[in-house]
Structure formats: structure tokens, C-alpha cells
Structure 1
Amino acid sequence: MNTHLMEARPSLVPDGCAATSTIDDLEDAVSVFVRARPSLINIACAILGNAGEAEDVLQEVWLRLQGTDRTAVHSPPALLRTITVRVAINVLQSARRRREYCATPWLPESPDPDVTPDAVAERQDAVERAVALLLETLTPRQRAAFILREGFGYPYDRIAGLLHLSVVNSRQQVTRAQQRLRAQRRRQSVDSVTHRRFVQAFLAAAQTGDMARLEQVLLGDVAQPTSR
């Protein structure tokens, strides 16, 4: 493998700025990418707040680097940082769009204040039915993990911290919730007071971003002696 990039030192150009080697071939690109990887991970994590998603971003960065005209690149580290920032922001914006416009069948999209009263009523009804299904079908931990992840895009490490679980266990809770919902295995009846409390907390989070209230309701439910 060509290792001249790993051994090279920046040389000074007339204006006093350091010149950076180009990455003419793929082996040089690999070397530069590997050396830059720790800083790129830090950038992606800072934007996304999630190590797993940051790793996905770096895979995309590497694919884009391979498709770049590397003979025209004079500062590979700067290029990699720029690509990382752009990809991470795209992922962040995409996640927000999914939460706003592409909700799961069990978590309806957030109400839009500009729609007609009839549409608002329909969405209110959809939220009430969805919450009833979640309450009847899922255990408290499954419900909390599912709503926070699928409804509001919480990273798994944040869910794990709230529920006092490992990240692996948090993922399992979401997976089990999805399986139960697909199977429509209703496990219990729900009283109207509990249902109304969850609906109000969900709508407050969706409409105003009041996540503290939703977290309080979900975690209070988990803390009940009957939660599993």
C-alpha cells in the first residue's frame, strides 16, 4: 500500500499556509480517511447525539469520498469534515421529517394548527385510538421505549438512561412492542382517566414540544408495581 501520505509533512506555500497532499488513488484515500475517522465521529456525534447514527454517517462519508474526483482535492481532511457535517445534518433533518410527516400506524402525525377543524377532530380521534391501543397492548416499559423512539426519535442511549436499562435492552423493548402491535395482542383494559392523561401528554409533546410532561407520564407508568 502507498504510505507516502502517512509519512509526509505539510510544506509551506508562499502565503504561509500549509499545503495538504492530494488523494489521487484509493489507497491514499483509505489512509486519510482512517486517520481522520476519530475527529469525524466526534463531529457526527455532536450533531446527532447518537453513536450508532454517527457510525452510519461515516459509512456514507466513505462512499461519497470514493465517488469524488479526488485528483481535485487539495485538503482531504477539510473535505471529509464538510461531507460529515452535511450528511449528519441531512440525517437529523430526515429524522425530524419522519417524526412530523411519516408517523407509524400507531402514532399519528402531529396536528397542524392551520388545518380545518374537521381535520383536527380526525387527528384527535386518531391519537386517542392509537394511545388506547398502546395502553391495551404494551407493557409500560415497551410503551415508553416505543413512544420515545418511534414517536419522537429519542436515541437509544437516552431511552436507556430514562428507563434504567441497557441500550441493548432498550432496543429489545422497542422490538417487542412492534411485534405485539403487529400481532394486536391486547393484554389489558384501560380506564378513561389513564387514557386521557396519556392522550393529553402525547398531544402536548407533539404540538408544543413539552417532552418533560410526556416523560413524566411514561416513567410514572413504568414505576407502578405492576409494570414489567
Structure 2
Amino acid sequence: MSAVTVFNDLRPRLLGVAYGLLGSVTEAEDVVQEAWIRLQRSDIGRIDDLVGWLVTTTSRLALDVLRSARHRRESYVGPWLPEPVQTAADPADAVGLADSISWAMLVVLETLAPAERAAFVLHDLFGLSFTEIGTALGRNPAACRKLASRAREHIESRKPRFDVDPTEHRRVVSAFASAATSGDLEALLRILDPDAVLTADGGGVVRAALEPIHGADAIAAFLAAVAEQGPRKTMRATVVNHNPALLVFVGDRLDGVVALGINDNRVTAVDFVRNPQKLTGLGAWAGE
């Protein structure tokens, strides 16, 4: 089998590895392209395990970008949210880069140190051995095992517990969309959990709340004001990273995507990605 064939067959997995490490579609694609360039410059005849070489090279490149990105994000305007990817409504039907990466997990992964994130993503989500991970991270397998263990504990303690009733999710998503687009304050208060949190990511490119908004009262007042003062918006239900969500439109223009955390028939988390640079991947890999 030729190197081109191996790379093309492996590309969705490589994109998944890079996306899991970076939370960015654009950066993931750049990393995989760089891995291909490096392969072309290498003596392929000397590579015993081409698949392993590609996964390791992609992981190393993504880790380098992640370390650099953490410094850039310190000067990011407002909260930083991952770049959403549309996925199949039923995870069993998904065949894309976000197969194993839920929205809630992506958000929590952002709180990990780069090495911990890499060890967890590569081992727990993509099944690499700690020996392979050690090669990518430049550490021994035992150290990588500890990194993954620490990351796992952190994720379990921070990851929100959302219920997964699809029928109820559809009802809640529809109710939220109707209340948010109309600015119905009372309806918003009925659908929002008292301790809900709204996080908006505009990246300094478009207007967005610069700090998370806590509590149903504050979120409802904010959304009602946006509906009253801003341009008329419409919302269409979708699924991003196996999480109920809404595509937000102003006319025919995609204005953002809202990922919703839902528990006990109420919205507990509203993650509103408005940065237009993070909307380019929506639909691009759906069903890939």
C-alpha cells in the first residue's frame, strides 16, 4: 500500500487526534497538512510503521501548536471556547473527527496542561499505548500513565453531568430557541436552571459578553436585551460534538452556534460561539 493511500485512509483519524488536542478545526487541518509535508520529505523506506509515524508526528506537531496557543489565549478577548463541529444526532452514526469528543469534554480539556491533555486524548480517546505516547511527548511510559491518570481525575471532577433523553432534549432546545429569539423573559426563566452559566466567545471580532454570566435571572435579562436591541435572529436545532445546539442566523448569515447543557429538563449551560473564525468548520466534516 502506498504512502498516499495510507495517509488518505488515516486522515480522518489524524484530524481527530489534532482536533482533540487543539479544539480548533483550522489548526487541526494545518497540523495534518504539515504532517503530510514532513512525510514527503522523509525517507519512507526507512519508516517501519507508517501509521505509527503519522500519528506520532501529528501528535507532536499538535502539541507544539497547543503550547503556543496557550500563550496566545492569554491575550484572547473574552472567554475562549472550542471550535464546534456538527456531528450525527446519534453518536453511533458518527464517522468524523469528533466521534469520541463531546462538547462538555472539549470545554474541560481546555483547563488541562498540554502534556496532560495529550496523554488523555491519545490514550483514552484514540487508544495509543503509553509507549507510543511517550515517543510523542518525549517522556517515559510511566510518566505518561501518570499524566493521563491526573487528567482523567480532573475531567471526571469537572465534567458536568447532563441527562441524555433525546426527546426531552428536543423539547428543551425548541423552548429555549423560542424564548431567546422572542426575548420572552418569563419563558427564559422557566427553561433556565437557577445556577445556569452563559459563556460567549466573540474573540474581540464581534460583540459578546466579556465574562461568563451566572444565574438564570442575569442570563434571561441578557438574552431578552439582545433580542430586543439586536437584529432579528432565527435559530435552527443541530448537534455539535454530540451535544444539543442551535445554529443562530441573522437573515441567511450564520451568526453563531449555541451549545446547550441540559439536565432535569432545564438548561444549565449556554455556550455561545460567535467568533466567525470558529464557524467555518460547521458542517464541513459532518458525515465524513
Structure having greater relative contact order (Cα 8 Å, sep ≥ 6): 2
TM value normalised by structure 2: 0.33
- Which of the pair is proportionally richer in helix? 1
Name the larger-Rg structure: 1
- Which of the pair is proportionally richer in strand? 2
